[in-house]
Amino acid sequence: MKPINLEQEKKEILNRYRSLLRACSEKTSAKEKKDIRKAFNLAVDAHKDMRRKSGEPYIYHPIAVAHIAAKEIGLGKISIICALLHDVVEDTEYTLKDIENIFGKKVAKIIDGLTKIQDVFDKNVSLQAENFRKMLLTLSDDVRVILIKLADRLHNMRTLDSLSKQKQLKIASETLYLYAPLAHRLGLYPLKTELEDLGLKFTKAEVYKAIAEKLRETKEERRKYILKFSKPIKNKLKEENIKYTIQGRPKSIFSIRNKMVKKGVDFDNVFDKFAVRIIVDSKIEKEKSDCWKIYSIVTDFYKPNPDRLRDWISTPKENGYESLHTTVMGEDGKWVEVQIRSNRMDEIAEKGYAAHWKYKQNNKKESSLDNWIKKIRDLLENPSSNAVDFIDDFKLNLYSGEIYIFTPAGELKTLPKGATALDFAFEIHTDIGLKCMGIKVNGKLVSLSHILNSGDQVEVITSKKQRPRKDWLRFVVTSRAKSKIKSALKEDKKKIAIIGKEIAERKLKHLKIKITKKTETALIKHFGTGDSLELYFRFGTGAISNSEIKNFVNLKNRGWYQTIRNKFYGPPNIKNKNSEKIIVFNDDDEVLDYKLANCCNPIPGDMIFGFLTVVDGIKVHRFDCPNSIQLRSNYSYRILKGKWINKEEIDFIATINIKGIDSVGLMNKVTQIISNQMNVNIKSINISTDDGVFEGIITLKVHNVSFLKELTKKIQKIDNISSITRTYKHN
Beta bridge mates, 277: 247, 339
Q: Are 697 and 723 in contact (CB under 8 A)?
A: no
Among 3.40.718.10, 1.10.3720.10, 3.40.640.10, 1.10.3210.10, what is the CATH number of 6-206?
A: 1.10.3210.10
Axis crossing angle, helix 479-510 with helix 532-541, rounded to the nearest 10: 70
Predicted local confidence at residue 395, as pLDDT? 46
- CATH code of the domain occupying 213-363: 3.30.460.10
Q: Are 662 and 654 in contact (CB under 8 A)?
A: no
Binning the chain into helix, strand and coil, the percentages to the nearest 5 are 55, 20, 30
Predicted local confidence at residue 62, as pLDDT? 93
Q: Are 152 and 73 in contact (CB under 8 A)?
A: no
Catalytic residue among 9, 12, 91, 311: 91
Predicted local confidence at residue 121, as pLDDT? 42
- 91 included as an active-site residue: yes
Strand ordering across the sheet containing 693-702: 681-690, 693-702, 652-661, 721-730
- 381 included as an active-site residue: no
Predicted local confidence at residue 624, as pLDDT? 81
Predicted local confidence at residue 394, as pLDDT? 52
Helix (H) or strand (E) holding 585: strand 581-585
Predicted local confidence at residue 293, as pLDDT? 92
323 closest CA partner among 314, 336, 332, 335: 314
Please state, as a whole number, how many other Cβ atoms lie within 10 Å of the Cβ of residue 461.
Answer: 14
Does residue 18 sit in helix, strand or coil? helix
Q: Are 640 and 609 in contact (CB under 8 A)?
A: yes
Give CA–CA dist 483/478, Å, rounded. Answer: 9
Predicted local confidence at residue 117, as pLDDT? 59
Give CA–CA dist 404/414, Å, rounded. Answer: 5
Q: What is the DSSP string of 149-168?
A: HHHHHHHHHHTGGGS-HHHH
Residue type, 217: E
Please state, as a whole number, how many other Cβ atoms lie within 10 Å of the Cβ of residue 220.
Answer: 9
Predicted local confidence at residue 423, as pLDDT? 93
Strand ordering across the sheet containing 608-612: 581-585, 639-646, 608-612, 618-622, 594-596
Kindly report, residue by residue over 636-677, the tens digit of the pLDDT. 778 888 888 776 555 667 788 888 877 767 777 777 777 665
355 closest CA partner among 315, 399, 322: 322
Helix (H) or strand (E) holding 245: strand 244-250
- What CA–CA distances, in Å, run from 212 to 154, 204, 269, 402? 19, 12, 16, 22
CATH fold of 402-477, please? Answer: Ubiquitin-like (UB roll) (3.10.20)
CATH fold of 652-730, please? Answer: Alpha-Beta Plaits (3.30.70)
Give CA–CA dist 637/648, Å, rounded. Answer: 31
Strands 608-612 and 639-646: antiparallel
For the chain, domain boundaries: 6-206, 213-363, 402-477, 485-574, 579-649, 652-730
Q: Are 426 and 484 in contact (CB under 8 A)?
A: yes
Task: Name residues whose C-beta falls within 8 Å of residue 515's C-beta, 6 or more positions apart in sequence.
Answer: 501, 504, 505, 508
Please state, as a whole number, how many other Cβ atoms lie within 10 Å of the Cβ of residue 190.
Answer: 16
The single-letter DSSP state of residue 452 is P
Predicted local confidence at residue 54, as pLDDT? 81
Predicted local confidence at residue 553, as pLDDT? 79
Give CA–CA dist 159/173, Å, rounded. Answer: 15
Catalytic residue among 90, 217, 331, 491: 90
Give CA–CA dist 700/697, Å, rounded. Answer: 10
Predicted local confidence at residue 152, as pLDDT? 92
Cα Dmax for the chain: 111
Q: For the chain, list residues with pLDDT below 50.
A: 119-131, 138-140, 361, 364-366, 383-393, 395-400, 560-565, 567-579, 728-731
